[in-house]
Amino acid sequence: GGMGGGSMGGGMMGGGGGGQMMGMMNSMKATMGAMALTSLIQQTVSPDSWFDMSDLGEGTITMYPTQSPSKLAVLATREVHKQIDNLLEELRKTLGDQVSIEARFLAVSENFLRDVGVDAEIAYNGLGKKWSPVTLNQNSYDTAKAEGTSVPGSIGAIAESGRVGGSWGTILDTLSAEFIIRATEGRNDSKTLSEPKATVMNGEYATFSVNDISQFYYAPQVQVGVISGGLGSNANQNTGGITQTPSPLITGSQLSIGPVISKDKKHVLLNINTTQNDFLGIRTQRMQAPVIGADGSVTVEEWENSSPQTEMTSISTRVSVPDGGTLLLGGQKIMAEVDKEAGVPILRRLPLIGTLFGNRSTVRDRKVLLILVKPTILLRDERDKEALEAIEGAGTRVY
């Protein structure tokens, strides 16, 4: 018999709560890896020769150190050791293959707004003394006002850009008019490209994460205590303790890819999980809650609570991609169009003067999100051959 070793990766990371947690995870990962390799050897290399697999077997495999094992001590015959060496050599060949992954997150948004509104009031006082003035009031000014959509980046709710107002005549004149004109037009186009790249071992996972982290403060918590009043009565009063706890708001994209190279080395099987989280804005809600006073009376308190509004898009899939090919992993297209038109029937359709009797607004929003993935196989033998050719070429260069 003899002693032989297979190298295993492992390690401990200390320092702080996060370091201790990471160290525990690495130790657990190393232990599971050592157990998996031990089971593979015992099941594929002369199974009857192992003490754990057969009543007649005498061979043993011991992991050490016990915590976060990095080596295997094998007690077996010389023939079994040769078979284990061959198995480990085959495993190392596949371990040397890698996959280079290029990912692209492309977001394109287009936002358009046109809002023209007229608020007009016309009075006619020429029907005689027995008639009161005839008034025409076009009151669709606010009805057709533009509003924002749920598409991120919408400019439908922006403040109006221009306003013109005026009047003609007085109430004593035969004809008088008063008008206000609102006009706003805007456009907002944006393109965002995130292009992370990584190289990962065959069968392992690579994770891309591009995030924006901001702190959002909710309504503060006021510490209320019971203090004794001057006349022996108790009352709830603010003791001065105000607590504002920030809550992290994480937006951005995350992509996790696990590539597996096919047997013919021409295709890559990708296990993909991706998440896109976008910030839409702040939503304000009115809240109510009963409050019991010191005398036992119940009152209803109202307040406004603001909270962030986000949109999350996730994709989970398993696909096969040719070596060097580009995969359109996912595409999301969000469109919203709001056309508002209001006014006086018939009159608002008259040529030229029809705009005095009607209002119209148009909001168009569009957002497209594309996720592209391109895997490239990096075979160890080919890379070694290229490196040797480069060295030999440099050695035979003539100056």
CB-based contacts of 137: which residues, under 8 Å, 6+ apart? 120, 121
CB-based contacts of 49: which residues, under 8 Å, 6+ apart? 57, 58, 59, 76, 77, 80
Res. 323: pLDDT tops 60: yes
Quote the mean pLDDT of the chain.
74
- pLDDT higher for 225 or 127? 127
Share of the chain above pLDDT 90, in %: 5
Res. 65: pLDDT tops 80: yes
Hey, how many other C-beta atoms are within 10 angstroms of the C-beta on 88?
17
- pLDDT higher for 342 or 177? 342
Q: Which of 196, 111, 205 is nearest to 152 (CA)?
A: 111
CA 165 – CA 179 distance, rounded (Å): 6
CA distances from 345 to 349, 357, 388 (A): 8, 8, 85
pTM greater than 0.95 (yes/no): no
- pLDDT higher for 36 or 353? 36
Confidence of residue 33 (pLDDT cuts 50, 70, 90): confident
Confidence of residue 269 (pLDDT cuts 50, 70, 90): very high
Res. 150: pLDDT tops 70: no
Res. 286: pLDDT tops 70: yes
pLDDT score at 376 = 92
- The residue extents of the domains of the chain are 2-95, 109-189
- pLDDT higher for 169 or 24? 24
Res. 369: pLDDT tops 70: yes
pLDDT score at 281 = 76
